[in-house]
Every structure is written in structure tokens, then in C-alpha cells.
Amino acid sequence: MPGSEAPEARTMFEKIWSRHRVLERDDGQTLLYVDRHLVHDGSAPAFEMLRSRGIAPRAPDRIFATPDHYVPTDPRTRQAIPNDEHRGMVEALERNAAVSGFRLFGLTDGNQGIVHVVGPEAGLSQPGMLIVCGDSHTSTHGALGALAFGIGSTEVAHVLATQSLWQRKPATMRITVDGKLGFGVTGKDVILAIIAQIGAAGATGHVIEYAGSAIRGLSMEGRLTLCNMSIEGGGRAGMVAPDDTTFQYIAGRPFAPQGHDWDAALMRWRALPSDPEARFDTEVTLDGDAVAPMVTWGNSPEDALPIDARIPDPAMEPDAERRAIMAGTFAYMGLIPGTPLEEVAVNRVFIGSCTNGRIEDLRAAAAVARGRRVAEGVTAWVVPGSAPVKRQAEAEGLDRIFTEAGFEWREAGCSMCLGTNGEIAAPGERVASTSNRNFRGRQGPGARTHLMGPAMAAAAAVTGHLADVRRLMVGG
Amino acid sequence: MEPFVALRSAAVPFARPNIDTDQILPARYLSRPRDDNHGAYLFRDLRLATDGSEVPDFPLNQPHWRDARIALGGRNFACGSSRENAVWAFYDHGVRAVIAPSFGDIFANNAVKNGMLAVTLPAADVATLIAQVQADPAAEIAVDLPSQTVTGPDGATYRFEIDPFAKKCLLEGLDEIAFTLNHAEEIAAFERRLGRDNY
Ligand code: SF4
């Protein structure tokens, strides 16, 4: 190739990809080495597959596990999980950890939590790593400048057996958000605005790199929220180039490199960002100044609108097929076309999940809850993303702010995000939720989910309806 | 894994875009062991009403589509959660091939690992096939993996692309874990070369 002497400009994705290449086949598949394998209490089938083949995990020291999907979030011990199947999932994880010898942050461990909160928080997720987990929101860890993606059970078994995974190189997409985010606008609003723009399949087959001044201005926690929902735009993974915000976040965490190792790691990490000339297969831009606090109205995360908008009217939709789909959504969601979003009353509020269950999220929600009361007839839960988040929040007195306002303050876990632990909303109940999926039945059969950021969810709790948090905020 | 070579069957259509794996297999069945018949959970909350009765107009409840071994999907079919149980639900129900304009990446990967073929065809072609089976629910579609073709009820043939290794795995019922373990030496060499700090 002419000019192949000059060093090729590479994206961050390509740098990480090539560093993890074990071997490449003629047909274009690459065997990639996995640095960190995160495991949760839904991973039991993969361990069964391994056992049935008589194989032990190849690298137990690269596996870290915590129960999250099946744990109750009211006061708990393992024996207190009333449902046999749910308790069985948690016990299976404990057994697999004991047999295979990998590190488990168990139910009563001080580090337990949602796997995508625990990884970054413990310093396990680091720039340049290849991280996988049998869960689609593994994209979260890309916020630290890692290549992180979700896999299915058979692939989990493959990684357990071989510490590697066959992949065909995905395409790259850069989403650039320049500008300054407005008052009351968070990482959640940015990602909802992005998905509304590109669609729920907009990034299919792509690894996304988020770039631009508005992204660089986000805190680490905002970036984690952003990358978390990459999968909701169809992306295989999402990532943000590591910078001083990243390094400050990692420094001093339990599994972060220390001393000389830290200096060496920093050298490697600083070389990770995409080269200025690097080319992406697809480029998308969004005006950061124009993003408003967002909420979803439908059953796909792409159905997101600024809070001051009205719910669309299917009658205005020229395409017959789309009109029919919208009619189905309105029936499920129990909405009246054309209603201002702010007039939609809610029954329940869920603040938590791997999207928005971190300390900064709880601070933002508490700032709105402080001195107010949860509206009559509304049940509002705050579920910290991890035990350390819970401790930190309690040290700051956030739990008291919430309980005094009438919120329930609970233990760490996935809880109502998915309800696999039995914590679900009743049919027809409308939930203001800080989680990532508004799919039909996601929070229980017949439950109606509206996605939003944590301060917006707190605003819904205290007003009893979807509300523009900017009017409730100091300075707003 | 059971090999997949070719199939001719009625085809059940799920035309709506963005059908997620939470619809295909509701979360409350995620703690069931693999040897449970997951076919019973396929689209459970769309197929059955809360009282357990069948929802009359749901496609899977139509006489000709009950035993369809092919499914037709809309754009971004089976997006969302990585739950492999969604593939098990189709598989146990008897569906061995899904044709859609695009898939959730993880679902498409999971399908191959379970001997189920996920075929991507242009949206217009999928729309044609859906219109044809809706007009005549008994109409059959043929899928042939060696020649990488789908043949519609009218005889029209559509060629599809598939990853060569995925094709080989499906045709031979190959166990990928066993395949990769043949490369254990290369993996060990990689580990020695980069030590612990390979990231
Ligand atoms: S919080 Fe929700 S999205 Fe995140 S891992 Fe748990 S169930 Fe999945």
C-alpha cells in the first residue's frame, strides 16, 4: 500500500482492539483476549455449560462477580430471599465462585452492588481494557476508555473456558456533542437526545466514541450514564477517551494500580485517545447547547422528547404503518395524543439502576427532594447502585433527606429496573424511572415506564406528574 | 449443537420495529433452567392475556403460524437485553430461522451459538415476504444455508450474506468452545507476551 510507512492514524477503539488480538483467521474473525470478565447472578447457565463439558475457568483471577439481579432491596440476608428460584440464582453464583476460585462481592459484602456500578467504583474497570460481561449494559465501562460489551450465555461460557472471544471487527461511529449543557441538563438527557436523533437501531454494528466539549465536560458519572445506554441506540459498545477526569476518578480505588504501576499505567492510558487524523465509519453531531431535560413517552428509548414538549399525535403521522405502531404504544401507555408531557401523572418513582444509581445521581435527586414531600398517592423508591454508594449517601445525610420527604431508602441492587427480584410495578401503574429501558412489561407486566434523569424523577415524585425539574431547582 | 442446513416452512410475521428481547422472553422466566421448555414463554405476555387465555390476533396464535419454523421480524429485531433465553424460547418453540432487516447484535450472536439462523435481508424484501405471508398464512418460505438464499412463496429468491465461520458452525453443528481450545497454545503465548498489563 503506498504511504504505508507513515504511522497510521488510529481510533481509540482500534488501539485497544489490536492490543488484544490473539490471532486472526482468514475469514476476518479475530480472537480477542479478555482482561476482565464481570459476572452476576444471572450467569448460572454459562457455568452449567462449562460444567457439562468438564472444563474449569481458565483465568479465575480475571473474573469478578457480584449478585444484583435477584437480590431483594429490602433488609436482607441470603436466607431472607423468599423466592426459591431467586435465592437459587444467588446461591449458584456463590457456589461457582467457591468452586472456581474467583472473587465474589457477595450479598453481605461491603462492595456488593450492580455489576456495572461495582466495576468502575472498585477500580476494576480501567482504560485500555477489554471487558465483557453477560449483560448488555456492559457498554457502561467504556466511559473509562475501555472496550466493553455485553455477551450471551454461550459466549460467557466461551470466555470462562478460553479467556477470549471471537469477534468480527465492528464499524466505528463518532458522536460529537459540542457546546455547553444548559442548566439542569445531565448525561442522561444527552444520551436520550442522541437516541431520539439516531434511533434505537442507529448505531447497530458500531462501536461508538463520544467526543466533543460537552462530553469532555461531563463528570465520570455522567459519562458512565452516557455509555450505559449506548446499547439502547443499537451500539455494540460506547466509549469516552480517558483524560484527567478519568484518571482522578480511578486514582486510589481498591483495584487501581498503585505507585510505580500507576505511573506506568498513566503513560499507557495517555496514549489511548484517538489520533487527531483518525477516521470513523460514521459521524454524528449533536448541539450540546440545545439539549433540554428529556423524558420518554413510548416503549422504545428513541421515543424521547424535551420535557416541555407535547406527546405526539398519531393523527399527524403521515405513514400508515408508523401510525398503527403509535396507536399500539398509546394503548399500552394509556396516553392521550397531544397532551403536554408535564400533565402526565405518575404512580411510582424509581431512582436507581446501573444508569443512574451512583452517588452523583442520588445527590442530584436529593437536591430536589430536600424540604419537599412525595406527592399524595405516589410511591417513590431510592435504590443505591451499590453498597459503597449507599454508605457514602448515608455519610452525606442523603438518606435522611429522602426518608423525610417520604421516599423509601433501600439496599443496593437492580430492583425495579427489571424486576427479576420480584420488585415490580402493578399493571397500569405509571413509573418515572431513571433506568434505561421503557420496553413493554420491563418493570412488570402492564407497567408503564417513562425514562428520565434522577433530578427529573425526584421532580416527578414531589409533584406527582412528569415535571420540568428546572423550575424546582435553586437558581431555576 | 444441532446443525442447520435448510428449512421450508410457514413463516410467522412480527412486523413491528424494535421488538425487544423483554417481549420475546419476559424477565420473570430468566431464572428457569435451560432444560425447561422455553417455548412456553415465547412472547408470553403478548401471546396470552393475564387470565391465561390466548390473545386472538397475536400471530403465534393463528392456526397456520402456530408451528411455523421461520419467523419474519421488523427492523432492529430482538434488540435490548443480552438474554440468550430469548433464542432458547424461539428454538424450543421450533423456530430455527429468523429473517429481519436488522437485529440486535447480541441476539444475532446468540442465535448462531444455538444453531438458529438469523438472516438479514433488505427492508423492502422483508416487507414483501411479510405482505405475502399475511395475504396467505399457509404460504411457505424456504431458507437454504449452503447457497445462502431465501425463497419466497412466489419463487422469488433473495441472497443473504453470512459470516463464513458462523456458516461453518451452523452447517456442522460445531462447538466453538472446543474449536477455540485447539488454540490454547496461542492464548498461552499471548498471556506470556503481555503479562498482566496488556491493557
Ligand atoms: S440495573 Fe437494570 S439494566 Fe442495569 S444490570 Fe441491573 S437489570 Fe440490567
Interface check for B186 against chain A (CB to CB < 8 A): the answer is yes
Q: What is the mean pLDDT of residues B160-184?
A: 94
Q: Which residue out of A141, A414, A420 has the highest number of ligand 1 atoms within 8 Å of its CB and is therefore the one to mutate? A: A414
* CA separation for the pair A425, A449 (Å, rounded): 9
Give percent of chain A above pLDDT 70. Answer: 98
List, for residues B14-42, the tens digit of each pLDDT value.
999 999 999 999 999 999 999 999 999 99
What are the DSSP E strand ranges found in A241-339?
A: 282-287, 294-296, 304-306
pLDDT of res. A78? 60
CB B133, CB B10: distance < 8 Å: yes
pLDDT band at residue A185 using 50, 70 and 90 as cut-offs: very high
What are the binding residues of A for [4Fe-4S] cluster?
Answer: 354, 414, 417
Of residues A233 and A7, the one with the higher pLDDT is A233
pLDDT band at residue A3 using 50, 70 and 90 as cut-offs: very low
With vertex at residue A271, the alpha carbon angle to CA A269 and CA A277, rounded to the nearest 5 degrees, is 140
Q: How far is B10 from chain A (nearest CA, A)?
A: 23
CATH 3.40.50.300 fits B6-173, yes or no: no
pLDDT band at residue A320 using 50, 70 and 90 as cut-offs: confident
Interface check for A179 against chain B (CB to CB < 8 A): the answer is no
Q: What is the mean pLDDT of residues A453-459?
A: 98
pLDDT of res. B197? 57
Domains of chain A with CATH codes: 23-168 (3.30.499.10), 294-475 (3.30.499.10)
List, for residues B43-56, the tens digit of each pLDDT value.
999 999 989 999 99
CB A275, CB A172: distance < 8 Å: no
Protein residue closest via CA to atom 6 of ligand 1: A414
pLDDT of res. A79? 64
Residue spans per domain, chain B: 6-173
pLDDT of res. A475? 58
Mean pLDDT of chain B: 95
What are the binding residues of A?
Answer: 354, 414, 417
Interface check for B61 against chain A (CB to CB < 8 A): the answer is no
State the residue for C-alpha cell 455477551. A151
Mapped onto helix, strand or coil, the DSSP state of residue A154 is helix
pLDDT of res. B143? 98
Task: Report CB contact under 8 Å: B181, A162.
Answer: yes
Interface check for A146 against chain B (CB to CB < 8 A): the answer is yes
pLDDT over 50 at A210, yes or no: yes
Of A27, A150, A261, the CB nearest to B106: A150
pLDDT over 80 at A222, yes or no: yes
pLDDT over 90 at B142, yes or no: yes
pLDDT over 60 at A340, yes or no: yes
pLDDT of res. B194? 77
Q: Which residues of A touch B87 (CB under 8 A)?
A: 152
Q: How many residues does chain A have?
A: 476
The model's pTM is: 0.96
List, for residues A386-443, the tens digit of each pLDDT value.
999 999 999 999 999 999 999 999 999 999 999 999 999 999 999 999 999 999 999 9
CB A124, CB A75: distance < 8 Å: no
Distance of CA A14 to the CA centre of its chain: 23
What are the DSSP E strand ranges found in A144-289?
A: 147-150, 164-168, 171-178, 206-211, 237-240, 282-287
In this predicted complex, what is the ipTM? 0.94
- CA distance readout (Å), A40 to A69, A117, A333: 8, 12, 31
With vertex at residue A383, the alpha carbon angle to CA A379 and CA A387, rounded to the nearest 5 degrees, is 155
List, for residues A76-95, the tens digit of each pLDDT value.
766 678 889 999 999 999 99
pLDDT band at residue A1 using 50, 70 and 90 as cut-offs: very low
Mean pLDDT of chain A: 95
Q: Which residues of B touch A442 (CB under 8 A)?
A: 22, 27
- Paired strand residues for B12: B71
